[in-house]
Amino acid sequence: MSDSSPYSSQQFHSDEAENEISRLENQARVRWPQEVVILRNAGLKSGTSIADIGCGPGFITEFLAKEVDASGLVVGIEKNEKLFNVAKTRNAKYNQVRIVNNDACLLTGMENDVFDLAYARFILQHLPDPNKMLIEAKRILKPGGKLIVMDSDDSLFHITPYHKEMVEFLSEVSKGQIKYGGDRNIGHKIPCMLHDAGYININTSVYTFTSKNISSHEFLDITTKFKIDLLDASLKEWGASIINDIYRKSEDVSFFGSAGVYCVVAEK
Ligand SMILES: C[S@@+](CC[C@H](N)C(=O)[O-])C[C@H]1O[C@@H](n2cnc3c(N)ncnc32)[C@H](O)[C@@H]1O
């Protein structure tokens, strides 16, 4: 098993990076109105200190900066150098934001008991040993601080009319993610993982969104197209032809897609 996620500097090429940055921007924009309610319920407000673990290009970091305002603190933690630099440039205008180039499973140099909240958004699925990140997040949280984990689970993904090859495609994508050490069906496993990592008061919600909330193309851009990058090189052409076919079929009024994310809030 490789210990590199597809985001590692060896495997994330520049055109892939551009596509992924734009996908993450769309995903952040579409999902944020629902997420901010969860985060506020967990305690996010003016003056909060929050770690944005695996912050990527920093779109969510910026939303968090506006929520905590100048009296708060947002520390974006990102391992991939390219994305770290994008996040840093993007958030340079906020005095309350620091972006650090660090491994979420090590958090080298970060002190114990510092943050009110930590947000791990779509990072767990990429980690070979997610427990390490959960333990590190607990270490940097203040006593009583909360970790919010948001992640997907491909078992919640469905499209109709039924597309037989889509099932094979998702199975190959899942194998690709496992090869990198991650897990595309991690969502439903998170509550148990948090319990095993010593968290208490674990609250789990499942949120769905569909191709009727947003356009069919936007739905597929966010949930599906990027998965070609996870396929074995020998399968990429096959995967691209399936995706093109689904985009074509999604223009039919009968098309319906649904996807879901798990959101788990737990206390140190
Ligand atoms: C799907 S992206 C999500 C980015 C951001 N949280 C968002 O929701 O827009 C996952 C991010 O986790 C980062 N990541 C993966 N493994 C990491 C690690 N061990 N330490 C820090 N960041 C990591 C990736 O580089 C990537 O930026």
Q: How far apart are CA 49 and CA 33, in angstroms?
A: 20
- 11 pLDDT band, cuts 50/70/90, is low
CA atoms 41, 140, 67, 263: torsion sign: negative
Contact 138, 199 (CB under 8 A): yes
Q: Name all domains of the chain by residue range, CATH numbers in brackets.
A: 14-152+183-210+261-267 (3.40.50.150)
* Contact assessment for residue 38 and residue 64, using Cβ atoms and an 8 Å cutoff: no
| CA distances for 13 relative to 19, 24, 127, 198, angstroms | 10, 16, 19, 37
Per-residue pLDDT, averaged over 153-168, amounts to 92
Structure tokens at 40: 């506020």
pTM greater than the 0.85 cutoff: yes
Per residue in 32-49, pLDDT (tens digit) is 998 999 999 999 999 999
Q: What is the mean pLDDT of residues 153-161?
A: 94
pLDDT band at 6 (very low <50, low <70, confident <90, very high): low
* Whether residue 161 has a cis bond before it, omega within 30° of 0: yes
pLDDT bin (cut points 50, 70, 90) of residue 2 is very low
Instruction: Tell me, in angstroms, the distance from the centre of ligand 1 to residue 28's CA.
Output: 13
Distance of alpha carbon 47 from alpha carbon 65, whole angstroms: 10
Ligand 1 mean position to 46 CA, how many Å?
A: 25
pLDDT at 4 over 80: no
**Shortest-distance Cα residue to atom 9 of ligand 1:** 24
Paired residues of 263 in beta bridges: 150, 205
Question: Average pLDDT of 216-229?
Answer: 91
CA of 122 to the centre of ligand 1 (A): 7
Query: pLDDT grade, residue 9 (50/70/90)?
Result: very low
CA–centroid distance, 8 to ligand 1, in Å, is 10
CA of 53 to the centre of ligand 1 (A): 7
Tell the residue nearest (CA) to atom 10 of ligand 1. 123
Strand partners, 257: 159
Ligand 1 pocket at CB < 6 A? 5, 7, 24, 28, 54-56, 59-60, 77-80, 83, 103-105, 121-123, 126-127
Q: What is the mean pLDDT of the chain?
A: 92
Contact call for residues 155 and 188 (beta carbons, < 8 A): yes
Q: How far is CA 182 from the centre of its chain?
A: 12
